Amino acid sequence: MGRHPANGTTFAGGVRSTSWVVDSNQPNLIRFELYQSPDARYGVTAAVVNGELAGRSQGSAFINGRDYSYRDTVVGRRIGRPYPDICVSASIEQSTRNR
């Protein structure tokens, strides 16, 4: 565990779209990636509790030959109305590119 160096070599990219997966062993939990590149990732496992998304996250990165891993607590709250059209459009675009 440790902090990322101020500058270092990384393949940092990002996730353009992500999938939400329900855990078949624990159907009240969902899993999703917020970030992913060839040498780094940040994933979340959470549940909806009292109208909020609450759970744990785990991140890791491999920078300049050193492994940086960490865990966090995640809390999410909707601050506006949902915009499903954005997600549907992105999903259709991604599916078209993957053909």
**Which residues constitute the domain of residue 48?**
21-97
* The two three-digit tokens of residue 74, written as one number: 């995640």
Residue 67 is assigned to a structural domain of this protein: yes
| CATH code of the domain covering residue 46 | 2.20.25
Residue 48 is assigned to a structural domain of this protein: yes
Q: How many domains does the chain have?
A: 1
pLDDT of residue 73: 93
pLDDT tens digits for 5-52? 444 454 445 545 567 788 788 878 888 888 888 888 889 999 988 888
Residue 8 is assigned to a structural domain of this protein: no
Residue 9 is assigned to a structural domain of this protein: no
Q: Does the pTM exceed 0.85?
A: no
Residue 55 is assigned to a structural domain of this protein: yes
Closest to 5 in 3D by CA, of 59, 68, 58: 68
